[in-house]
Amino acid sequence: MRGEAVRREAGGDKRDEAKASLGDIPLSLYLHFPWCVRKCPYCDFNSHAVRGDIEEDRYVDALIRDLDYELAVAPLASRLSPPVGSIFAGGGTPSLFSGRAIGRVLEAMAARLPFAPDIEITLEANPGTADAGNFREYRAAGVNRLSIGVQSLDDVQLKRLGRIHGREEAIAAYRTARDAGFDNINLDLMFALPQQTPDEALADLRAACALAPEHLSYYQLTLEPNTEFAAHPPVLPDDEAAWTMQLAGQALLAEQGYAQYEVSAYASAGRQCRHNRNYWEFGDYLGIGAGAHGKLSGAGGIVRRARHKHPRSYLEGAGGAAAIQEERTVAASELPFEFAMNTLRLNQGFSLAEFERRTGLRATVLDAALNQARKKGLIEEEGGHIRASVFGRAHLNALLREFLE
């Protein structure tokens, strides 16, 4: 019945007006590089340990063919008018690829898509694969933001996490990035690590802050299905200790001038990650590469597509439909939950007007969910703007369930 109600509410002139504005939805580009030196025991991303040499040129050629195919058949082919505002090269370990290869990719993308004048281009880098020459070439190719996966600056924890680098390598990679001209750097850091105490977690975070990156992604280690840690769980801090770490970490980050704008994202002034914000604000994005996901809005609805995860399957199919593992149009009944699942991660939340623009649905379809969330103290409202309350952010899954009903 709930789905039928959403479909009824989605009809009429209001939806037609919302569809007319779909061409204004921001557009980003995600590029996936699937190889790593070694698969970390906690990692559930689409990454594969390198066996032999990476065929850089072959993979770059596949990415270019894949984008050509996407632009030819994507439901948004007629509305790719907004310039691409951000590009994110993730993995895996994109920094396994040479500066020349990354330059080829970006040059090909720029020849096929309009780029915003101030486009943000992020590349993920592993401290264990940092190379000064490559970093300089990345910067020269147009990469203007690095995301370095340090995960910890404690040698004991890095060994427990199966990382291929140590504390000194992580610090050296950061300094190498600075020397190469990067003035916008994110550090990934985790807490609630195996046998970690709250004091140790805070010391780890303090060491990361001392480097003065522009952005920090600070998140709790969780045991994900189909990982080595899931099969052989390490001893992790209990929930109370993890909550203590989170609160102490948030206080330290605020003290150091990092404003929290999303569940696990903290930035100095003007340095929020535009690419990730576009995800959380329910923007559109092209997904290119092995296992990449994309979301595109068009007159026929919102279409999600996913590429084959395994590099071999992807390489064989890139440039045609054979590279696509899944394609589906998101049902109107699913959109309230999908929208809330993203936007309520942001401290600022969302406006009802933006919900209508991004989904093509009337905001009244949210009435039941908002009423229940309001009664439970999970949300705050002001002038048609909805955001999670402090209590709601601490119980985000409970809040999101209201939109799943």
How open is the CA angle 289-295-117, to the nearest 5 degrees?
80
Residues in the chain predicted with pLDDT less than 50, given as ranges, are: 1-20, 77-78
In whole angstroms, what is the distance from residue 334 CA to residue 331 CA?
A: 5
Residues β-bridged to residue 122: 88, 145
3-state secondary structure of 295: strand
pLDDT of residue 19: 46
Whole-number percent of the chain with pLDDT over 70: 92
| Residue 251 CB partners (closer than 8 Å, separation 6+) | none
Q: Is this structure's pTM higher than 0.95?
A: no
Look-up of token digits 């903290």: 266
pLDDT of residue 310: 95
Are the beta carbons of 208 and 189 closer than 8 angstroms?
Answer: yes
* Stretch(es) of the chain classified as CATH 3.20.20.70: 22-279
Q: Using DSSP bridges, classify how beta strands 379-382 and 385-388 pair: parallel, antiparallel or unpaired.
A: antiparallel
pLDDT of residue 6: 35
In whole angstroms, what is the distance from residue 236 CA to residue 239 CA?
A: 9
- H/E segment holding residue 314: helix 311-317
* Stretch(es) of the chain classified as CATH 1.10.10.920: 332-405
Look-up of token digits 């994202």: 265
pLDDT of residue 5: 35
Radius of gyration of the chain from Cα atoms? 21
Neighbours of 31 (CB within 10 A): 24
Which residue spans within 197-245 are E strands per DSSP? 215-220
pLDDT of residue 53: 82
3-state secondary structure of 174: helix
Q: Which fold has domain 22-279?
A: TIM Barrel (3.20.20)
In whole angstroms, what is the distance from residue 243 CA to residue 220 CA?
A: 10
CATH class of residue range 332-405: mainly alpha
pLDDT of residue 3: 40
